[in-house]
Structure 1
Amino acid sequence: MGRAARISSSLAMALLLTAGALTAGAQEGGEPPSLSLELNGAEATERGCRLTFVAANRLGEDIDRAAYEVALFGTDGLVKRLTVLDFKDLPDGQTKVRQFDLPDIDCEGLGRVLINGATACEGGENACMDALKTETRGSVAFGT
């Protein structure tokens, strides 16, 4: 093999390795930073309704405290209550389960949980709303 062919072959190999590394990096870090909240369940209790959330911090930084004002809507579309849910600390790279007991709220009559905004976001510089992703596992709608 001549010198030009060896250089071309080496250059082609280097380009392939670089492309492979870039593709692998894009797959590993391709997801944008996010803070996800999943309404995982609504369970009737003796006093009212217990909401269970799964929170996953994938922001690249710890949240020392995250609290949200939420509006609870009935299945009739009417606002039943405004309240604040304090998720406390949400360390980066971790998933936490948080439960909130809501006295005098009927789970069966709960149709939607709306996040009005963050009342506290310590350590995340507005990431509590800017990077927020919401989802629900049950029949109660959840989001912003």
Structure 2
Amino acid sequence: MKPIQTFLFAVTLAGPGSLAFAQDAADRAAKPGLQIELNDAADVDGTCRISFLVENGLGADLSGAVFETVLFDAEGAVERLTLFDMRDLPTGRPRVRQFQIDGVPCAGIGRILINGAQTCTGEGVAEGVCMDTLTLTSRTDIELLG
């Protein structure tokens, strides 16, 4: 059996949803740039904990990535402006980053806007590349835009 056939066979054994997940991961990996997915939003003790899946496809490690972020309430009004520090992001290795939004349940957040990159540093990383190549998606009811 050829290696690709072995991979597809293993994915098929894992279930039909696994093949879609593997294809989604392959599509993201093939796309150069920085991908941020709002993966989860869960209420924890009256606050909203949001989880991001971040994938660095820039071809260079990021030693720091901090994004200016605007949270909008369910009615569309600005709730707060804050910074999300994604820390270091090695190239080709997905990272999950979590943030707790104090005093706001998840139902109170309608949209999250990545307003800009305050910091985007790494050896060989061009200025502006974090925002110029940014792709945003959401698996939640909260819209992620930039």
Same-fold call, TM > 0.5? yes
Q: Which residue of 2 aligns with 1:136?
A: 138
Provide runs of 4+ in structure 1 moved above 2 Å.
none
Q: Which residue of 2 aligns with 1:121?
A: 120
Partner amino acid, structure 2, of 1:34:
G
Deviation at 1:32, TM superposition (A): 4.6
* Alpha carbons 2:39, 2:139 under 8 Å: kept: yes
Change in Cα spacing, 1:32 to 1:108, as seen in structure 2 (3 Å) is: closer
Partner amino acid, structure 2, of 1:57:
N
Q: Which residue of 1 aligns with 2:16?
A: none
Q: Which residue of 2 aligns with 1:18?
A: none
SS at match of 1:63: coil
- Deviation string 1:91-141 (CA, Å, 9 cap, x unpaired) is 011100010111112211110000110011011322211111000001100
Instruction: Determine if the alignment matches structure 1 residue 92 to structure 2 residue 91.
Output: yes
Deviation at 1:47, TM superposition (A): 4.7
Report the count of equivalent residues: 115
Change in Cα spacing, 1:111 to 1:95, as seen in structure 2 (3 Å) is: same
Partner amino acid, structure 1, of 2:139:
R
Q: Which residue of 1 aligns with 2:8?
A: none
Deviation at 1:33, TM superposition (A): 1.7
Greater radius of gyration (CA):
1
Measured in 2, the distance between the counterparts of 1:46 and 1:72 equals 19
Partner amino acid, structure 1, of 2:73:
G
- Deviation string 1:22-62 (CA, Å, 9 cap, x unpaired) is xxxxxxxxx45211000011111115111100000111111
How much is the aligned-residue C-alpha RMSD, in angstroms? 1.4
Query: Gaps (5+ residues) in structure 1?
Result: 1-30
Please give the residue correspondences for 1:7-18 in structure 2 after superposition, counting only pairs within 5 Å.
none
Measured in 2, the distance between the counterparts of 1:58 and 1:112 equals 25
* Percent of matched pairs sharing the same residue: 41
Instruction: Determine if the alignment matches structure 1 residue 69 to structure 2 residue 68.
Output: yes
Please give the residue correspondences for 1:16-95 in structure 2 after superposition, counting only pairs within 5 Å.
31-95=30-94
Measured in 2, the distance between the counterparts of 1:62 and 1:127 equals 12
Measured in 1, the distance between the counterparts of 2:40 and 2:131 equals 22
Measured in 1, the distance between the counterparts of 2:113 and 2:93 equals 24
Measured in 2, the distance between the counterparts of 1:104 and 1:120 equals 27
